[in-house]
Homo-oligomer: A and B are copies of this chain.
Amino acid sequence: MKVNQLVLTFSSVAENVGIARMLVASVGAQLDLPLNDIEELKVTVSEAVSNAIIHGYRGESGRLVLLELEINKETLKITVSDEGCGIPDVEQAMQPAFSTDPERMGLGFVFMQSFMDELEVDSTVNQGTTVTMVKYLDRSTASPSH
C-alpha cells in the first residue's frame, strides 16, 4: 500500500543536489527516522544524484534528473533516474573504487549499498540509468521523536 509519494524532477545543476538531500531528509523526519538514518539517506541521495549529473549528463546542465520517494507501510523506496549516457558494464561500475573519472573515488555505489537494504541499477547505453533503492522501515520499534 502506497502511503505517500513525492517525485522531484529537476535540472541537472549542482545547486540542486543540496535540495534533493533536503527533500529526503524531510521525508525521513516525517517518518520519525533516527538522525543517523536520515544522515545516511542524505548521503545515498547525494551520491545517486551526483552520479546522474556528473556521469549521466557529463556535467551538461538543462537536462532533467528524477528523484522519486515512495513511502510504503514498511519501506521507503528511492529511485533516481537520468536519461544520460548510461553505464556499459554495470557490474564493473558497482565495484568498490571503480570510477571512470580519475579524480573520483569510486565509492558512490559502495555508500548506496551500505546505507540501503536493496539496490538495483538498470542502465542502457545512450538511454540512461535508473537506480532503485529500498530501505526497510522498522516502524514497530521506532522510538518517539523526542
Instruction: Give Cα distance in the complex from A145 to B11, angstroms.
Output: 23
Cβ of A22 < 8 Å from any Cβ of B? yes
CB–CB A8/B6 < 8 A: yes
Q: Given that A7-B8, A8-B6, A11-B4 are known contacts, is A27 also in contact with B23, CB under 8 Å in the complex?
A: no
CB within 8 A of A23: which of B15, B19, B30? B19
Question: Shortest Cβ distance from A139 into chain B, in angstroms?
Answer: 15
CB within 8 A of A26: which of B7, B13, B22? B22
CB–CB A30/B19 < 8 A: yes
CB–CB A10/B7 < 8 A: yes
In the assembled complex, 9 residue pairs joining A and B whose CB atoms fall closer than 8 Å, in A order, are A4-B15, A5-B9, A5-B11, A6-B10, A6-B11, A6-B19, A7-B8, A7-B10, A18-B26
A interface size (C-beta, 8 A): 21
Give residues in A with beta carbon < 8 Å to B. 2, 4-11, 13, 15-16, 18-19, 22-23, 26-27, 30, 62, 64
Instruction: Give Cα distance in the complex from A11 to B64, angstroms.
Output: 21
Instruction: Give Cα distance in the complex from A137 to B135, angstroms.
Output: 40
Q: A8: which B residues are within 8 A, CB to CB? A: 6-8, 23
Question: Shortest Cβ distance from A33 into chain B, in angstroms?
Answer: 14
Question: Shortest Cβ distance from A41 into chain B, in angstroms?
Answer: 14
Instruction: Give Cα distance in the complex from A27 to B10, angstroms.
Output: 12
